[in-house]
Amino acid sequence: MAMTTGGGGGFSSDINVTPMIDILLVLLIIFMVIVPVTPKGLDALVPQPPKNPQQQQQPNDRTIVVQVLYRAGQAPAYKINETDVSHAELLSKLTDIYANRAERVMFVKGDDDVDWRYVADVIDIGHAANVDHIGLMTPKILAGQ
């Protein structure tokens, strides 16, 4: 192994690594600051439990629920608040419902056995009908189960 001693006054051909590490750390800090930290994905509205569990919830006339019902071997059936609707007239019915509403919130409820693509199709139709917020309804989870 070769060693240099401090006796010679000539040039040294060794690489000084310290300035390169300083440059690397400065670049790392710059890239960490520049990269935007934005959340990816869709905004999700999570329903909150009632503050008083004994209080009965009154049905809300403003709530629109689109149900996607499973039918074995066939395309699913659709309902808007317990009213049967065909897939072809789903967009026109939702457009009529949300034409004069200030609050544009819709919920989609799919049966357990229904294909996810049908639920996604209803979400797309809701966006086409200018619905601002679309929530997915899940089965109730009872306490103690």
The pLDDT tens digits of the residues spanning 22-68 come to: 999 999 998 888 877 666 666 666 666 667 665 554 445 678 899 99
pLDDT given at position 51: 72
The CA-based angle 60-64-70, given to 5 degrees, is 125
* pLDDT tens per residue across span 67-124: 998 888 888 999 998 889 998 999 999 999 888 888 889 999 988 888 889 999 999 9
User: Does domain 64-137 fall into CATH 3.30.420.270?
Assistant: yes
The pLDDT score that the predictor gives to residue 101 is 83
Name the residue ranges covered by the structural domains of the chain: 64-137
Q: Is the pLDDT of residue 1 over 50?
A: no
**Amino acid (one-letter) located at 135:** G
Q: What is 81-95 written as a DSSP string?
A: TTEEE-STTHHHHHH
Give, in order, the Cα–Cα distances in Å from 92 to each of 80, 116, 128: 12, 22, 10
In whole angstroms, give the CA distance from residue 44 to residue 31.
30
State pTM to two decimals: 0.57
Per the CB < 8 A criterion, the answer to whether 82 and 38 are in contact is no
Burial class (CB in 10 A: 0-12, 13-18, 19+), 58: exposed
